[in-house]
Amino acid sequence: MLKIFIVAQNNYLVTFFILIIIVFISSIKSLILSGGRESFARYPKWAQTFENEIKFEFKTHQSNAIILYTDDGAINHNFLIISILESYILVEFRIGEIEIIPPKRHNIYLMETKVDDGKWHYFTLFQVNK
């Protein structure tokens, strides 16, 4: 399991984490980022299939940060963003859809648990294309 520590500035626009967590890498036990625009991790391109799963653990005291961003290189304008917005997880996506102008965007705001408490949180995203 990949563990991620998020350490960044409080300004959402300044906090620019791009964590493309698309491949499970068993050799990495944890990743600590210092913050700022140049603080990010990059992994190989995600080979999206009919069923996709992304799992990670993280802890942070930041109330606004981007945890993960990936896209299809503007081929079909598909993307996935997992972020922290005002202490809660926000998932924004457009995956597996045909071209729509303007591109249709979906948002899921998970307001059950604040995640900026410095405790470990576990996130799993499972996607099935139909």
In this structure, what token pair is assigned to residue 33? Answer: 């980022």
pTM for the predicted model, two decimal places: 0.67
**pLDDT attached to residue 108:** 86
- Give the confidence band of 45 by pLDDT, cuts at 50, 70, 90: low
Q: What is the 8-class DSSP label of residue 95?
A: -
* Neighbouring residues of 92: CB distance < 8 A, sequence distance ≥ 6: 79, 80, 81, 83, 105, 106, 107, 108
